[in-house]
């Protein structure tokens, strides 16, 4: 793992832009994308850059089960608002939250991931060490699936909803097996709330108790931490 420690989230976004640039220079065609607070400065940097994604493919990690693409709380809406409105990709895919047939949707997404192998996967990390919505205890080999969110993840995401009761309890998520197939991984973590998870990911044992610890076994991972998120590294 290559660890980069920056002052704050703003600088983190600037560093992430360099990683995207380098991936494009190296011929990356397919980008795995994330939502949440963490990648916001990265998306702003991408939007303000002259990088061209118009011939590239994007695939998002996850989407809430039950939300339509035009629901303002959906990850479709997030991606539109923060990135796709400004930077268009040739094709952009997310799991379809309101799919009528969950099994068919999971199969569709896994087929997309096989057709478009990810060159650079952007990740955040949950306070409990989750990546995507692969909560502690998740298998390291699974592909896309429907997952039940833990109470701590529901609580953490409640800030984007009117109340915790409105937060969906299930999501479609790429599995850890899907994430590990990406050629290169860029994980960002900002703020003191992520310090314990970041230390467990980087220095702890590789265990499903901290799903992100599996990244120690990936050959090409860059981690960008701000000083607060790096505070518990030894």
State the catalytic residue, choosing from 60, 128, 134, 157: 128
Q: Could you tell me which residues are beta bridge partners of residue 184? A: 120
Using the minimum distance from each CB to ligand F6R, give the nearer residue, 30 or 34: 34
Q: How far is the CB of 215 from ligand F6R (least distance, A)?
A: 13
Select which of 63, 119, 135, 226 is catalytic: 135
Q: Reduced to 3 states, what is the DSSP secondary structure of residue 31?
A: strand
- Contact flag: residue 226 with ligand F6R (CB under 6 A): no
Site for ligand F6R in 112-131 (CB under 6 A): 124-126, 130-131
Question: To 5 degrees, how large is the angle CA 143–CA 149–CA 152?
Answer: 135
| Ramachandran quadrant class, 132 (left: phi over 0; alpha: psi -120 to 50; beta: rest) | left
* Nearer residue to ligand F6R within complex by CB, 100 or 208: 208
User: In angstroms, what is the minimal distance from the CB of 101 to ligand F6R?
Assistant: 23
DSSP structure string for 77-116: HHHIIIIITTS--SEEE---TT-S-HHHHHHHHHHHHHHS
How many positions of this chain bind ligand F6R (CB under 6 A)? 14
Which residues 31-60 are close enough to bind ligand F6R by CB under 6 A?
34-38
Binding site for ligand F6R (CB under 6 A): 34-38, 61-62, 124-126, 130-133
């Amino acid at each position: 793992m290559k660890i980069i420690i920056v002052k704050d989230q703003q600088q983190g976004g600037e560093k992430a832009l360099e990683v995207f640039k380098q991936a494009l220079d190296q011929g990356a065609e397919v980008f795995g994308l994330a939502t949440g607070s963490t990648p916001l400065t990265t998306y702003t940097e991408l939007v303000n850059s002259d990088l061209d994604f118009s011939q590239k493919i994007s695939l998002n990690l996850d989407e809430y089960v039950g939300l339509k693409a035009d629901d303002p709380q959906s990850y479709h809406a997030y991606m539109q608002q923060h990135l796709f409105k400004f930077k268009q990709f040739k094709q952009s895919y997310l799991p379809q939250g309101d799919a009528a047939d969950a099994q068919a949707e999971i199969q569709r997404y896994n087929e997309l991931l096989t057709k478009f192998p990810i060159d650079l996967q952007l990740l955040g990390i949950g306070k409990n060490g989750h990546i995507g919505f692969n909560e502690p205890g998740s298998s390291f080999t699974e592909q896309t699936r429907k997952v039940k969110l833990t109470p701590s993840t529901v609580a953490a995401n409640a800030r984007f909803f009117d109340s915790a009761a409105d937060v969906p309890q299930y999501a479609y998520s790429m599995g850890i097996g899907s994430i590990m197939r990406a050629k290169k991984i860029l994980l960002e973590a900002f703020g003191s709330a992520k310090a314990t998870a970041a230390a467990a990911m980087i220095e702890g044992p590789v265990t499903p108790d901290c799903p992100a610890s599996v990244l120690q076994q990936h050959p090409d991972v860059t981690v960008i931490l701000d000083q607060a998120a790096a505070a518990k590294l030894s």
